[in-house]
Homo-oligomer: A and B are copies of this chain.
Amino acid sequence: MQSDKRTFDCSYPPIERPFTGFEPAALQAYLDGELVETRNLVKSIVTRPEFRHFEGHDRHEYRRQVLVWLRTISDAGLGRWFLPPELGGQANLRQLLAVCEVLSFHDGSLLIKLGVQFGLFGGSIQQLGTEYHHRKYLPKAAACQLLGGFAMTEIGHGSNVQALETTAVYDSEHRDFIINSPSYSSGKTFIGNAAVDGRFMVVFAQLHVGADHHGVHAFVVPIRDENGQPLPGVKIEDNGLKLGLNGVDNGRIWFQNIRLPKTELLNRFAEVTDDGRYRSEIKSNNSRFFTMIGTLVNGRITMALAANGMAKSALTIAIRYAARRRQFGTGLQETLILDYPATQRRLMPLLANAYAFDFAVKRLVRIREQSRGGGTGTRSVESLAAGIKAFSTWSAMHTIQVCRESCGGEGYMFANRFAALKADADIFTTFEGDNTILMQLVAKNLLGELKDQLKEMNPGRVARFFVDQRLKALKKRFMSLTAANASLLNPEQQLDYFRFRESTLLLRAGGRFRRLTRHKAMDAYSAFIHLQTELLELAEAYAERQVLESFLEAVANVPEQTLQRPLRKLADLFALFHLEKHKAWFLENGFIGGRRAIAITNHVTRLSQEVRQDAVALVDAFGIPDQCLGAPIALG
């Protein structure tokens, strides 16, 4: 007998695409928006044969591959887009995001490498520097002739950036800065492009001029010569193997009294004059720090979008597989996985989330563009970006995991992409601001806004304000408890639930914070920590409300009639899924009764079942090229 030489038909069963009444292409056009050409150009590049997913296992080789990819993209002219208009570019956030979303479909390392080069390195020079820096660095950075990074995080300080240890001491005699890492823990770490490729770093350090300390400032510091050798006084270590993103060369950097010309301080918000005096329009170190950090909000928006892009890939793979894989059943054929209520319940709300974050990021970009130039809008944009980044990245991690599990053993095969998606997306919950810290930032801003509102009132009016709000809430509760069930599918009513939760949590936290700091004489930091879990809940409620608003806006503005129904259903599912998550809160606060609570759950189950019909069309509309998707179980 010979070894088995038969040839079998190895193809997967067809993906079943039921009639939906809308064209996935029309929905994709709505999602792609005006930047369809940008997207298509990037797609045309990353689907070339030389961009096929890296399958080796040597991280050094992977890094080299990603660098080649980055240069290919830059050579196609995309890098130049990120230059400011005065340098002949067309840098705008929308374009960066369109590029990044397509890359998030393809390879996480390339996405991050590009993000480091154009977003963090180029972006911080643009945001924190002035014309001298723009002209000196940006054209070369955009062409990838000069690779750089963003050296903020230190070994001892990741989240608490204000406490960085690296120093920049102004030497008035030589008119330069001395950059120094005084300790092991002051070493910059996890810095992308540091281990191998970067020649310049935007370094954040404590500025000292004479006897005065002015807080954290950013400097452009050379770290390698043209041959890639570390410069004297610069010590670089490779961060080594990571859980994911191994195509990015993260490293650690220590400086030993490097001398840096005075010009290399990024001086949009502060500078040292020729006669050696420190000058800034923003008087407090604290405000200046938050102004500088606040300009870096684009990174968070990019992460929110990229994480969602990865969730879209995971959903596309899992839903298409569920629409072709059968298991168990009594009829002629076994039952399609997608026809099980448990599958629908697991995957459909996460599909609704992916649409929700898509619209939320687009709305955030519009608000960001309107608020340019700072002013009162800055803080709210910062909150919005922080809240949506945290919400979206956490949701993406959860989505990818559920999708992996719903594909069973096939989901565990490297070829089917969940391995890379899980590993690469994981750190998104940490970088560009740890999610928990970002949610605290949101809560802090919300409390700050409430405080501003109360500041102009006298104590009597403040007390009345809280009483009024409680009465309003009571009235709302009464109205809600007596309202009909049908209203659960009314967008205004849904939003009302979300708003009620947010405002109640805000007023409570505000009241408690006030009592702690006034009557119990606690300092603000301690009071804040004391209320930490409540504040995180408030921030979550804020983010959810914002995302629902974005979704409802997107449904209202949909240009094509046929798209109304599927998007309306997804929005309902998003709203009710998150209401269900917080059912206990609404119940224990007397805003809904038991019957309403049960109705919410039944709605989620029913909507999941209804969305199942549209599910394959809805993931097709994400427009992820087969070459990016990769997973054999999802193609065909």
Interface residues of A (CB under 8 A from B): 1-6, 8-10, 55, 57-59, 153, 157-160, 163, 181, 183-184, 189-190, 230, 232-235, 239-244, 254-258, 327-330, 334-335, 340-342, 345, 397, 401, 404-405, 408-409, 411-415, 418-419, 422-423, 426-427, 429-431, 434-436, 523, 525-526, 529-530, 532-533, 536, 580, 583-584, 587-590, 594-595, 597-598, 605
Partner of A588, one of B408, B423, B429, B598: B598
Chain B residues within 8 Å of A341, by CB: 529-530, 532-533
A-B pairs with beta carbons under 8 Å apart, 11 shown: A1-B233, A1-B256, A9-B183, A57-B58, A158-B409, A160-B334, A190-B412, A340-B532, A341-B532, A345-B533, A423-B423
**Closest chain B residue to A61 by CB distance?**
B57
| Closest chain B CB from A11 CB (angstroms) | 9
**Residues of chain B within 8 A of A241, CB atoms compared:** 55, 57, 413-415, 419
Among A184, A412, A414, chain B packs the most CB atoms within 10 A around the CB of A412
Q: Which residues of B contact A233 (CB under 8 A)?
A: 1-4
- Cβ–Cβ contact A159 & B59, under 8 A: no
Question: How far does the Cβ of A305 sit from chain B's closest Cβ, in whole Å?
Answer: 20
In the complex the two chains form, what is the Cα distance from A3 to B587 in whole Å?
A: 64
Q: Which of B184, B526, B589 contacts A9 (CB 8 A)?
A: B184
Closest Cβ of chain B to A630, distance in Å, is 13
Indicate if the CB atoms of A243 and B422 lie closer than 8 Å: yes
| A240 with B328: CB separation less than 8 A | no
A401 CB contacts on chain B under 8 angstroms: 397, 401
Q: Are B427 and A4 in contact (CB under 8 A)?
A: no
A533-B341, A584-B584 given; A242·B413 CB < 8 A: yes
Residues of B within 8 A of A589 (CB): 594
Contacts A401-B397, A583-B584; A256 near B153 (Cβ below 8 A): no
CB distance from A103 to the nearest CB of B (A): 20
CB within 8 Å for A240 and B414 given contacts A159-B328, A419-B423:
yes
Rounded to whole Å, the gap between the CB of A501 and the closest CB of chain B is: 14
Given the known interface contacts A242-B412, A529-B340, the answer about A597 and B587 at a Cβ–Cβ threshold of 8 Å is: yes
Give the complex CA separation of A413 and B431 in angstroms.
Answer: 13
In angstroms, Cα B217 to Cα A534, docked, is: 57
Residue of B nearest to A339 (CB): B529
- A431 and B413 CA atoms in complex are apart in Å by 13
* Contact present for B408 and A159 (CB under 8 Å): yes
Please give, as numbers and ranges, the residues of chain B lying within 8 Å of A55 by CB-CB distance: 241
A418 to chain B, nearest CB (A): 6
Assess whether A4 is in contact with B529, with CB atoms less than 8 Å apart: no
Q: Are A158 and B587 in contact, with the CB atoms below 8 A?
A: no
Give the nearest-CB partner of A536 in chain B: B342
- Complex: A433 Cα to B590 Cα, angstroms: 42
Inter-subunit contact A327/B159 (CB<8 Å): yes
Rounded to whole angstroms, the CA-CA distance of A220 and B257 in the bound complex is: 71
B414 touches A426 (CB 8 A): no
CB distance B3 to A235 under 8 Å? yes
User: Contacts A184-B10, A532-B340, A533-B341 hold; do A413 and B587 have CB atoms under 8 A apart?
Assistant: no
Nearest residue, chain B, Cβ from A595: B588
Q: How far is the CB of A409 from chain B (nearest CB, A)?
A: 5
Q: Decide if B153 touches A526 in the complex (CB within 8 Å).
A: no
Given A8-B183, A8-B184, the answer on whether A342 and B257 have CB atoms closer than 8 Å is no
Closest partner residue, chain B, to A436 (CB atom): B342
Question: By the criterion CB–CB under 8 Å, are B588 and A190 in contact?
Answer: no
**Smallest CB–CB gap between A590 and chain B, Å?**
6
Residues of B within 8 A of A397 (CB): 401
Q: Are B525 and A329 in contact (CB under 8 A)?
A: yes
A232 and B1 contacting across the interface, CB-CB below 8 Å: yes
User: Is the Cβ of A242 less than 8 Å from the Cβ of B594?
Assistant: no
Residues of chain B lying within 8 A (CB to CB) of residue A1: 232-233, 256-258
